[in-house]
Amino acid sequence: MTSKREFVPALGKAEFTNSYDKVIAVMTREKRWRPLVAKALALAPGEIVVDIGAGTGSQAVLLKSQTPGIRMIAIDPDPQVLAIARAKAKAANVAMEWHEGFGDEAHDHLGERFADAVVSSLVLHQCPMDVKSGILVSAFRMLKPGGRLVIADYGLQRTFLMRALFRQVQMADGFEYTQPNADGILSELIPAAGFAGLEERHVFPTHTGSISIYCARKPA
Ligand SMILES: C[S@@+](CC[C@H](N)C(=O)[O-])C[C@H]1O[C@@H](n2cnc3c(N)ncnc32)[C@H](O)[C@@H]1O
């Protein structure tokens, strides 16, 4: 079910969505950081894994290809990116569940199930403050006790160069939603949603600012 809520599309405007994969490959060097996300998740066959804001499916397809025994559930509000993602999964010969929906309502898509791990990459920086929090709370609700959270996103921009490069993202996605990330808000919001053991495991410099990989757990 799709509501009439608004969201920022993958590259800021719907007309750019078809270029998303090419832009992300070059501007974020995703071949370097996506495997770090997979490593941080440390998935095992049989686990239920949810990708919130899965977009064109690059992270979800990588995870399912690396660990075929997982049950992968990918959620995004944008039918345009989901169409690209489905085609990508088909080409990679991997099967997963695709759901059209918002991240702060993601737990509603699991029914009676609970997740072993939740991942979200490059989503929170383009969401309003209440939605950033809502997505983290939804992730917390859907996880089993002891379940893992891995967030990869533009986090605290620590240097003049990274802040300057991050301006490109801010021009595309707007300053209101992106600036709190650049100021380091994710390190506050993740524990505020109930998560324990927060660690900023990697800070990865890119041509569009630094991407941080945050790991935390729902207390057992
Ligand atoms: C920059 S793309 C990232 C896509 C993908 N996770 C990746 O790593 O390439 C951001 C995605 O977040 C989605 N999005 C925007 N607002 C959202 C929300 N409130 N809940 C869930 N996803 C959202 C967009 O539709 C878009 O696909």
Interval 60-72: pLDDT, tens: 999 999 999 999 9
**Which of 6, 7, 181 for mutating ligand 1's site (highest number of atoms within 8 Å of CB)?**
7
Listing DSSP states for the chain in one string gives ---S-----TTSSGGGGGGHHHHHHHHH-HHHHHHHHHHHH---TT-EEEEET-TTSHHHHHHHHH-TTSEEEEEES-HHHHHHHHHHHHHTT---EEEE--GGGGGGGGTT--EEEEEEES-GGGS-HHHHHHHHHHHHHHEEEEEEEEEEEE----SHHHHHHHHHHHHHH-HHHHHHHHTTTHHHHHHHTT-EEEEEEEEEEEBTEEEEEEEEE---
d(CA 31, CA 28): 9
Ligand 1 pocket member 57 (CB < 6 A): no
**Interval between CA 12 and ligand 1 midpoint (Å):** 10
Ligand 1 pocket member 54 (CB < 6 A): yes
If one counts every other C-beta atom within 10 angstroms of the C-beta of residue 217, the result is: 17
**Interval between CA 10 and ligand 1 midpoint (Å):** 6
Residues in the chain: 220
Ligand 1 pocket member 80 (CB < 6 A): no
Atom of ligand 1 at shortest range from CA of 51: 6
Please tell me the predicted confidence (pLDDT) of residue 4: 80
Question: Bridge partners of 214?
Answer: 151, 200
Reading the chain (220 residues) residue by residue, the pLDDT tens digits are 445 899 999 999 999 999 999 999 999 999 999 999 999 999 999 999 999 999 999 999 999 999 999 999 999 999 999 999 999 999 999 999 999 999 999 999 999 999 999 999 999 999 999 999 999 999 999 999 999 999 999 999 999 999 999 999 999 999 999 999 999 999 999 999 999 999 999 999 999 999 999 999 999 9
Which residue is associated with the tokens 């495991």?
201
**Interval between CA 39 and ligand 1 midpoint (Å):** 21
* Distances 206 to 43, 106, 164 between C-alpha atoms, Å: 26, 29, 12
**Which of 76, 122, 129 for mutating ligand 1's site (highest number of atoms within 8 Å of CB)?**
76
**Interval between CA 96 and ligand 1 midpoint (Å):** 17
d(CA 205, CA 159): 10
Please tell me the predicted confidence (pLDDT) of residue 1: 47
Interval 2-29: pLDDT, tens: 458 999 999 999 999 999 999 999 999 9
pTM: 0.97
Please tell me the predicted confidence (pLDDT) of residue 152: 98
Listing DSSP states for 79-118 in one string gives HHHHHHHHHHHHHTT---EEEE--GGGGGGGGTT--EEEE
Domain 14-217 has CATH 3.30.10.20: no
